[in-house]
Structure 1
Amino acid sequence: MANEEGLKQSEENDYKATSQGEKIDTPGRQFYIPSQIVDEFGEKGRDHLNKPFSAQFLLALKAGSFMTFGAVFSVLLAIGVETKGIYHLLSGLGFAAGYSMVFISGAVLFTEINVLLPSYLFNKTGLMKTNIYKFWMSTYIGNILGAFLVALLIQSSGSLATSFYPELDMYLEHKMKFMDHGMKGWFQILVSGVLANWLIGMAAFLTTAARDLTGKILGTMLPVVLFVAGNFQHSAANMGYFSMGLLASDKYTWYEYIFFNLVPASIGNLIGGAILVSLLFSYAYKEDIQTSLGKNRGKGGMKR
């Protein structure tokens, strides 16, 4: 009873501080409130933009490499599993390992910055032109290169059992089934990409909310399991699967992977992350957000 009263009092104090325009300190509870999470998104987006280009690109390479590790682990855990529910659960848990490494290490993933950078741009004062497009593109290219390089290392190592490859082919067929639907399939991938980055945005939301390592891993795990089970088209995740597919299978070509999946999925990912997560939460909590983004940086805002 005393704990409940203490929690209630803490929340009331946070609400009063928010209403009076004060900066809320780290909460006593085991999670951050939503307005603090959106504020943190903006801070992370600003921090990513402020890094030197070499650091940005290296972190993008790291994030792409974690996607391939996650893809391989998801396939390995699902080999020989017949029950669909358990199959999807294990596959999702495998991929969650890759995302956990991304979120906790601070690596730069295309689909994560679809949430972080818009949160910065929506909430900072004095919006100015920045190198945002260059950063977005370099992150995307870095993710692809990182995913392919790790796939090359894994293939060169000869570590995977032969049972891995038929299972990988099933994953690739599942991802590329939209090719048979023509323009309708292209549009379906785009919509599926919206859903995928909505879920990954919520994974970032839950991970940011948690204050300990266990909470961050669990927060990452739940939305990732859902998007893997639903076959929602997540471009960064597909980079991992497709990189392995290019080296282990000749069923699809590189341009089919790119133009019939990654391009529409990436467009959908950008819409899902920027609008359905960043914009809507920023608007919903605009009265509560205590961000100082763009302040104390002179009249021009952030330096280029």
Structure 2
Amino acid sequence: MSYVQPTDFVTKMIDSGEAKVFMSTRDTLIRAYMAGAILALAAAFAVTISVQTGEPLAGAILFPVGFCLLYLMGFDLLTGVFTLVPLALIDKRPGVTFGGVMRNWGLVFIGNFAGALTVAVMMAIIFTFGFSTEPNAVGQKIGTIGEGRTVGYAAHGAAGMLTLFIRGVLCNWMVSTGVVAAMMSNSVSGKVIGMWMPIMLFFYMGFEHSIVNMFLFPSGLMLGGDFSVTDYLLWNEIPTVVGNLVGGLTFVGLTLYATHHRTGQRHEPRAGKMGEPVRVPAE
């Protein structure tokens, strides 16, 4: 069967987290770089579709193509390792340490940012004919996104920061569900279908994804967005990273681990009389 039972795919989640802790620096950086670059291209693709069709849903429906491709090729996003890698530490896998988890997260962050920034520069060149003209419609839209999702939050003060953080939480709740969904099937089609649904949801809802933002905001700065690097870091990237960590680990990694790997005490059903339903006491 192509469907993998929860107890089995949760074990795969822990195994995957353990493997990432011990992965070489070279491989970790390459895989993270390519993941950031491919996701950035998918974001540029989705914004282009939204601008040219005037329908944001069309962009959201097609954005997951990048996510599916990068995970099928075995590349790593920070949002995914936030969820998977700590499980190996919690499960007390031999040799897995807190320092090893931090090392993995740091390397993946660097690789994702470098990949997304590379695509941001390339797309900015395309949108402006090598910075020789004003940005085209898609470039102008990206600049507007950068403004609205930095100084737009800042205008609301603490309430804006809370909103940004919650959007980061909800984002990686969905994105990490997509990461796990790829482990629920042994077929390519099953993996793609499983990943597509939560990724489409997060993108259309405007939740905050730290790696997508590594493309949108640097490119927005290059394309004339009216915000600063400090605005980007303080009023988007840093709170988004924290929200992504909380959302993925809390609502996906730990919940699946707790109920499918370290299950609670089972209550054996009591035998009923012939023809009567078996009743299990309420807890």
**TM-score (ref. length: structure 1):** 0.78
Pair 1:92-2:64 in alignment: no
Aligned to 1:41: 13
Aligned to 1:134: 103
The correspondence of residues 94-113 of structure 1 with structure 2, limited to 5 A, is 94-113=62-81
Output the CA distance in 2 between the equivalents of 1:229 and 1:173. Answer: 18
CA contact under 8 A between 2:60 and 2:200: conserved in structure 1? Answer: yes
Evaluate the alpha carbon distance shift between residue 136 and residue 210 of structure 1 in structure 2; reply closer, same or farther with a 3 A threshold. Answer: same
CA contact under 8 A between 1:67 and 1:239: conserved in structure 2? Answer: no
How many residue pairs end up in the alignment? Answer: 256
Runs ≥4 in structure 1, deviation > 6 angstroms?
A: none
Alpha-carbon shift at residue 49 of structure 1 (Å): 1.6
Q: Could you say which structure has the greater relative contact order, defined with CA pairs below 8 angstroms and 6 or more residues apart? A: 1
Q: Percentage identity across aligned positions?
A: 23
Output the CA distance in 2 between the equivalents of 1:101 and 1:216. Answer: 11
Alpha-carbon shift at residue 169 of structure 1 (Å): 3.3
Alpha-carbon shift at residue 227 of structure 1 (Å): 0.8
Output the CA distance in 1 between the equivalents of 2:128 and 2:189. Answer: 30
CA contact under 8 A between 2:176 and 2:252: conserved in structure 1? Answer: yes
Output the CA distance in 2 between the equivalents of 1:58 and 1:242. Answer: 22
Aligned to 2:274: none
Output the CA distance in 1 between the equivalents of 2:101 and 2:74. Answer: 18
Evaluate the alpha carbon distance shift between residue 232 and residue 158 of structure 1 in structure 2; reply closer, same or farther with a 3 A threshold. Answer: closer
The correspondence of residues 127-206 of structure 1 with structure 2, limited to 5 A, is 128-157=97-126, 162-176=136-150, 177-206=152-181
Pair 1:215-2:190 in alignment: yes
CA contact under 8 A between 2:171 and 2:208: conserved in structure 1? Answer: yes
Output the CA distance in 1 between the equivalents of 2:93 and 2:183. Answer: 23
Aligned to 1:32: 4
Output the CA distance in 1 between the equivalents of 2:91 and 2:53. Answer: 46
Offset from partner CA, 1:82-112 (integer Å, 9 cap, x none): 4xxxx33222234212211221111121001
Alpha-carbon shift at residue 157 of structure 1 (Å): 4.5
Alpha-carbon shift at residue 245 of structure 1 (Å): 1.1
Alpha-carbon shift at residue 195 of structure 1 (Å): 0.7
Unaligned runs of 5+ in 1: 1-28, 289-304
Aligned to 1:297: none
Output the CA distance in 1 between the equivalents of 2:247 and 2:262. Answer: 23
Pair 1:68-2:40 in alignment: yes
Aligned-pair Cα RMSD in Å: 2.1
Alpha-carbon shift at residue 159 of structure 1 (Å): 8.4
- Partner secondary structure for residue 79 of structure 1: helix
Evaluate the alpha carbon distance shift between residue 232 and residue 276 of structure 1 in structure 2; reply closer, same or farther with a 3 A threshold. Answer: same
Pair 1:231-2:206 in alignment: yes
CA contact under 8 A between 1:38 and 1:119: conserved in structure 2? Answer: no
The correspondence of residues 251-266 of structure 1 with structure 2, limited to 5 A, is 251-266=226-241
Alpha-carbon shift at residue 41 of structure 1 (Å): 1.0
- Partner secondary structure for residue 63 of structure 2: helix
Output the CA distance in 2 between the equivalents of 1:279 and 1:80. Answer: 41
Give 1:277's match in structure 2, choosing from 239, 252, 272.
Answer: 252
CA contact under 8 A between 1:118 and 1:279: conserved in structure 2? Answer: no
Pair 1:117-2:89 in alignment: no
The correspondence of residues 1-12 of structure 1 with structure 2, limited to 5 A, is none
Offset from partner CA, 1:147-203 (integer Å, 9 cap, x none): 011221233355888221233234334433312111221121111111111001111
Output the CA distance in 2 between the equivalents of 1:121 and 1:39. Answer: 13
The correspondence of residues 47-62 of structure 1 with structure 2, limited to 5 A, is 47-62=19-34
Unaligned runs of 5+ in 2: 130-134, 264-283
**TM-score (ref. length: structure 2):** 0.83
